[in-house]
Amino acid sequence: MEISVLMSIYKKENPVYLRDSLESIFNQTFSPSEIVIVEDGILTEELYSVIDGYVNKYSIVKIVKLNENYGLGYALSIGLNYCTNDIVARMDSDDICKPNRFEVQVKYMETHPEVDVLGSWIDEFYETKENVVSVRRVPENSKELYEFSKKRNPMNHPTVMFRKSSVLKAGGYQTCMLLEDYYLWVKMLKMGMVFYNIQESLLYFRLSHDIYIRRGGLKYAITEVKFQIELHKIGYLTIFETIRNIASRFFVRVMPVCIRRRIYRRLLR
């Protein structure tokens, strides 16, 4: 089985983190046949330097250039069209794969051809991957994930490996939706597609103070309200579930950052 890796990069990414991420891909016990990197707009010279180094060294690196920053959903939607394999692994430019991630996932996809989307838990760390501070555990099978997704994102996006044909059948990533991965999983679960999460961590997810800032504020809270309303419109949430989610999430988003960080680390992990 051959797999493609899909990654998007924009100008605010850290070149050191990008190098760490790419190194973790090239040091896998199972190697991908291609890595599709979408440059979401003009990047910095430091980022170009890192990317050019890998392009010159590895023929499997394929670059897709966008002349302006369109956002993650659009970048992944475009990049997916350049993936030549049906099995696609997502990866973010600041996270680190554990060495056996692709091997474990490919073996599972090979022996379970009915599975459309496969993920895992993640180890969340500060500064170095040895400093793991929390683990985001997600439910295992489709039935559990369907119920879980009515409250929270059921998949750890950077760990996901999926069948391209299944994602395209569901309409792919929405280019106008901020929570583009969450919305995609909901659509696929609603269509009856098969999900599974391996019950172990296969990736180190980088935390920073900024991540809690980005997940809060009035603008983010309003975006989440619109998202919950959209899930109700497509028949995924009842009116009670929609109101419950809006009420519980809105106040977390507008809380001070220090309290929001505590909620994430102590109650949601």
The residue ranking higher by pLDDT, 268 or 41, is: 41
pLDDT of residue 172: 95
Q: Is residue 162 scored above 90 in pLDDT?
A: yes
Write out 120-135 in H/E/C secondary structure. Answer: EEEEEEECCCCCEEEE
pLDDT beyond 90 at 188: yes
Type and span of the H or E element at 117:
strand 117-126
Q: What is the pLDDT of residue 31?
A: 97
- pLDDT for 198 equals 98
Q: How confident is the model at residue 179 (pLDDT cuts 50, 70, 90)?
A: confident
Supply 192's token pair. 């009856």
138-153 pLDDT, tens digit each: 999 999 999 999 999 9
Cβ-defined contacts of 218-226 (< 8 Å, 24+): 218/253, 218/254, 220/253, 221/249, 221/250, 221/253, 221/254, 223/178, 223/179, 224/179, 224/249, 224/250, 224/253, 225/250
- Say if residue 197's pLDDT is above 70: yes
**Average pLDDT of span 171-196:** 90
Question: Which tens digits make up the pLDDT trace of 13-66?
Answer: 999 999 999 999 999 999 999 999 999 999 999 999 999 999 999 999 999 999
- Burial environment of residue 267 by CB neighbours within 10 A (0 to 12, 13 to 18, 19 or more): exposed
How many Cα neighbours within 13 Å face the side chain of 232? 15
Percent of the chain with pLDDT over 70: 91
> Nearest CA to 66 among 54, 85, 82?
82
Name the more confident of 221 and 88: 88
With contact defined as beta carbons under 8 Å apart, do 94 and 206 qualify?
yes
Residue 60 to residue 200: CA distance in whole angstroms: 29
Instruction: Write down the pLDDT at residue 66.
Output: 97
Closest of 98, 57, 99, 78 to residue 7, by C-alpha: 78
Cα–Cα distance, 185 to 176 (Å, whole number):
16
- pLDDT score recorded for residue 73: 93
Amino acid 168: pLDDT: 97
Structure tokens at 184: 């995609």
Residue 266: strand, helix, or coil: helix
The arithmetic mean of pLDDT across residues 58-79, rounded, is 96
Q: What percent of the chain has pLDDT over 90?
A: 81
C-alpha pair distances (Å), 121 with each of 3, 154, 205: 20, 11, 10
At position 168, the amino acid (one-letter code) is: L
- Mean pLDDT, all residues of the chain: 92
Q: Which class for 127: exposed (0-12), middle (13-18), buried (19 or more C-beta within 10 A)? A: exposed
pLDDT at residue 212, rounded to an integer: 58
Residue 175 banded pLDDT, cuts 50, 70, 90: confident
Average pLDDT of the residues in 259-268: 66
- Given a cut of 80, is residue 193 above it in pLDDT? yes
Whole-Å CA distances, 171 to 185, 189, 195, 227: 11, 13, 17, 17
